[in-house]
Amino acid sequence: MAFQQHDGGSSQFAEFMGFRSCPKCGETLFAAEAAEFILGPEVRLRWTCEACDHAFGTAEPIAEAA
């Protein structure tokens, strides 16, 4: 198995794991600062970039139980 060089850009692994990129500087963010569960099919996440101190929010859908 060969190792691949990571160029610092967005990777398929980061996308698969649900990591986010800062919309201001592009830094990869590994964990949300806070989560707010809303009645309904979503959770709201608050993010703060450690590189540029930009704060933003995202809303993620919650799958219904089968």
Q: Report which of 19, 65, 17, 61 is spatially closest to residue 37, judged by C-alpha positions.
A: 61
How many CB atoms are located within 10 Å of the residue 36 CB?
12
**Alpha-carbon distances of 35 from 16, 28, 42, 57, 60, rounded to whole Å:** 19, 18, 10, 10, 10
Q: What is the mean pLDDT of residues 20-32?
A: 91
Residue 59 has pLDDT above 70, yes or no: yes
pLDDT of residue 55: 95
DSSP state of 31: S
Q: What is the mean pLDDT of residues 44-53?
A: 94
Cβ atoms of 63 and 46 closer than 8 Å = no
pTM over 0.95: no
Which residue ranges make up each domain of the chain? 12-61
Q: What is the mean pLDDT of residues 43-59?
A: 93
